[in-house]
A and B are shown apart, each in its own frame.
Chain A
Amino acid sequence: MRSRATLVTGCLIVALVLAVAAVSMVWTPYDPNHVDAARQLAGAGGEHLLGTDQLGRDVASRLMVGARITVFAGVVAVGIALLAGVPMGVVAGMTGGWLSTVIMRVSDFLLAFPALLLAIMLAAVYGSGTLTAMVAIGIASAPGFARVSRAATLRVMTAEYIDAARLAKRGRVAIALRHVLPNIADIVIVQASVSFSTAILAEAALSYLGLGTTPPTPSWGRMLQESQDLLFSTPQLSLWPGLAVAATVLGLNLLGDGLRDRVDPALEGVR
Chain B
Amino acid sequence: MSPGEPLLEVTNLTVDSGSARLVRGIGFTVARGERVGVIGESGSGKSLTALACLGLLDDGLRPGGSVRLAGVEFDLLGASDRQLSAIRGKRVGMVFQEPMTALNPVQRVGSQITEGMRLHGTRPTRRVADEAAVELLDRLRLPAPRQAARSFPHQLSGGQRQRGVLGIALSNDPDLLICDEPTTALDVTVQKEITDLIVGDCEERGTAVLFISHDLALVSSVCHRVLVMYGGRIVESGPADRVLSAPKHPYTRALLAACDLTPGSRARAIPGVVPAPKDLPAGCGFSNRCAYADEQCAAPPEPTGEKPDDTVACWHHDALPAWPSAAESPDRDRTEPAHCGKAVDSELLLSTQGLTRRYQGRRTGLFGKRPTFRALEPIDLDLRAGQRVGVVGESGAGKSTLLRLLAGLDRPSDGGVRYFGRADGPSGGAGSRLQVVFQDPMGSLDPRLRVREIIAEPLPARRSAAARERVSELLTAVGLPEEAGERYPHQLSGGQRQRIAIARALAPEPAVLLADEPVSALDVSVRAEVLDLLRTATTEREMALCVISHDLGVIRYLCDTVLVLRDGRLVESGTVESVWEAPRHPYTKQLLGAVPRMRY
Which residues of chain A have a CB within 8 Å of any CB of chain B? 159-161, 163-170, 178-179, 182-183, 264-266, 268-269
Contacts and interface: CB of A to CB of B under 8 A. Distances in A.
Contact of A160 (B434, B435, B440): B440
A159 B439 CA distance: 11
A52 B449 CA distance: 55
Given A183-B446, A266-B447, A266-B488, A169 B458 contact: yes
A178 to B, nearest CB: 8
13 contacts: A159-B444, A160-B439, A160-B440, A161-B444, A161-B445, A161-B454, A163-B438, A166-B409, A167-B407, A167-B435, A182-B449, A265-B447, A266-B488
B457 interface: yes
Nearest to B407: A167
A169 B431 contact: yes
Nearest to A182: B448
B273 to A, nearest CB: 16
A223 B325 CA distance: 86
Interface in B458-508: 458, 488, 490-491, 501, 504, 508
B539 interface: no
Interface of B: 407-409, 431-432, 434-436, 438-440, 443-449, 454, 457-458, 488, 490-491, 501, 504, 508
A92 to B, nearest CB: 21
Contact of B409 (A163, A179, A266): A163
A170 B457 contact: yes
A168 B462 CA distance: 11
A168 B432 CA distance: 6
A168 B440 contact: no
B440 A167 contact: no
A167 B434 contact: yes
Contacts of A268: 490
A169 B443 contact: no
Nearest to B457: A168
Nearest to B458: A168
Among B440, B443, B491, B501, residue most surrounded by chain A Cβ atoms (within 10 Å):
B443
Given A160-B440, A163-B409, A169 B447 contact: no
Contact of A165 (B408, B448, B457): B457
Contacts of A264: 447
A42 B106 CA distance: 64
Nearest to A159: B443
Contacts of B431: 169
A269 B446 CA distance: 17
A164 B448 contact: no
B443 A160 contact: yes
Contacts of B490: 265-266, 268-269
A161 B438 CA distance: 9
Contact of A161 (B434, B439, B446): B446
B436 A164 contact: yes
Contacts of B504: 164, 168
Given A165-B457, A265-B447, 18 more contacts: A160-B443, A161-B443, A161-B444, A163-B407, A163-B438, A164-B438, A164-B444, A164-B504, A167-B434, A167-B458, A168-B508, A169-B431, A169-B432, A169-B458, A179-B448, A183-B448, A264-B447, A265-B490
8 tightest A-B CB contacts, nearest first: A168-B458, A160-B444, A182-B448, A160-B438, A266-B490, A161-B446, A168-B457, A265-B488
Nearest to A185: B448
A167 B458 CA distance: 8
A161 B443 CA distance: 6
Contacts of A179: 446, 448-449
B5 to A, nearest CB: 44
A104 B302 CA distance: 65
A179 B488 CA distance: 14
B402 to A, nearest CB: 15
Nearest to B444: A160
Nearest to A164: B444
Contacts of B458: 167-169
A167 B430 CA distance: 9
A269 to B, nearest CB: 8
A178 B431 CA distance: 20
Contacts of B444: 159-161, 163-164
A160 B508 CA distance: 18
A156 to B, nearest CB: 9
Contacts of A168: 432, 457-458, 504, 508
Contacts of B445: 161
Contacts of A183: 446-448
Contacts of A266: 447, 488, 490
Contacts of B448: 179, 182-183, 265
A172 B269 CA distance: 40
A269 B488 CA distance: 12
Contacts of B438: 160, 163-164
